[in-house]
Amino acid sequence: MFEGYYHKRRVAVTGHTGFKGAWMSLWLHHLGASVWGYSLPAPTEPNFHQTLPESVFAGQTCADIRDLRRLSEFLRAAQPEILFHMAAQPLVRRSYDEPVETFSVNALGTATVLEAVKLYRRPITVIVITSDKCYENREWEYAYRENDRLGGHDVYSMSKAAAELVVQSWNRSFFLPDPQLGHLVSVRAGNVIGGGDYAPDRLVPDCVRSLIQGMPIPIRHPEAVRPWQHVLECLSGYLWLGARLATEKKGSLLASAFNFGPDHSSQKTVKELVEEVLRHWPGSWEDVSNHGEPHEAKMLSLAIDKAARLLSWKPTWSFKEAITNTVAWYRERHQTQNPNMAAFSLNQIETFTNSAIQKGAAWAVK
């Protein structure tokens, strides 16, 4: 996979205890990489990270992403060739309660990571994961492209737009002019789902918590449309971009921002997603819409033409396949009570990879 790039490669992952970071770490280890994680403790209990054996990681550092000294020590120990920056405050509704903390972690934290890499002065490829919400969302049918205006109604979205500006500034000011530094790019994904996400105020975790308790699933915005995609979809894009950048020179067209989202058929309403979940785990839902709730976008979609054109990347699983595998993971852990969820997760990675091979995905075939 990925042209064998990650085999025996030293890779750093910030936010490795989070939902996406833990999946990324497991996949990297499966590819033969030496994985070094930097993060605060897992943000929820339960969580995906706790299902992973210690052997997944060559080293783990528990520290704040805004601590330049600890980051510098981490880089000297890990000596990474590529770094995926995933550490963040990832919740829109939490940003209303903790606006300054959200901005600090997402914008200042990104700046601190890039400054640590700059001071380390090694040719590390840095891939900063932001969000589809970094765009100035006008809530229209138009799918946002990488060169569209950045913005954000809420503090979370604004903080991700700010992180994008940090990447642009550090790249132009330091990374591009310095031959001793590597590539610096940002990537933006859609609404990511998959087994192991337990964050509050996220739709799939809310579904799972309600179903476990035998309660109706509370839905705030049943008609809101989102670009739903399985976590392995966007991770395949990040990994493929990292592998491709290894052979590119500074200033390459690939050394730029990329969207990794689902195809148009996966742009579904919240109601449609919940009803698809209930096909695999019987239960019910209720509309708890409240006009006094904080603002949440009603329409959002991503254009993935650039990834298709320059990377030959395309989504693998359909909307229904993404839901089927997501619900299967949670039922395996909470109903079957499988004591080896890492093996089950690896099996899902293999299933996803085999589907990608059958569809001729560039990253999955020679």
Host domain of residue 111: 2-358
User: Over the stretch 156-188, which tens digit does the pLDDT of each residue have?
Assistant: 999 999 999 999 999 999 999 999 999 999 999
The better pLDDT of the pair 132, 31 is held by 31
Which strand (E) or helix (H) includes residue 102?
helix 99-103
Q: How far apart are CA 73 and CA 71, in angstroms?
A: 5
Domain presence at residue 363: no
Q: What is the mean pLDDT of the chain?
A: 94
Is 366 part of a structural domain of the chain?
Answer: no
Beta strands 225-230 and 267-269, pairing class: antiparallel
Closest CA to 296 of 320, 270, 319: 270
pTM of the complete model? 0.96
pLDDT exceeds 70 at position 297: no
CA distance linking residue 58 with residue 12, whole number of Å: 10
Look at residue 330 and tell me if it is in a domain. Answer: yes
- Which residues are CB-neighbours of 340 under 8 A, at least 6 positions away? none
Number of domains making up the chain: 1
Whether 265 has a pLDDT exceeding 90, the answer reads no
Amino acid, res. 295: H
Residue 308 resides in a domain = yes
Residue 364 within a domain = no
For residue 223, give both structure tokens: 């008609």
Q: How do residues 52-109 score in pLDDT, each as one tens digit? A: 999 999 999 999 999 999 999 999 999 999 999 999 998 888 999 999 999 999 999 9
Is 11 inside any structural domain? Answer: yes
Report the CATH number that the domain containing residue 51 is assigned in CATH: 3.40.50.720
The Cα 270–Cα 259 span in angstroms is: 22
- pLDDT tens per residue across span 313-353: 999 999 999 999 999 999 999 999 999 999 999 999 999 99
Instruction: Evaluate if residue 12 carries a pLDDT over 70.
Output: yes
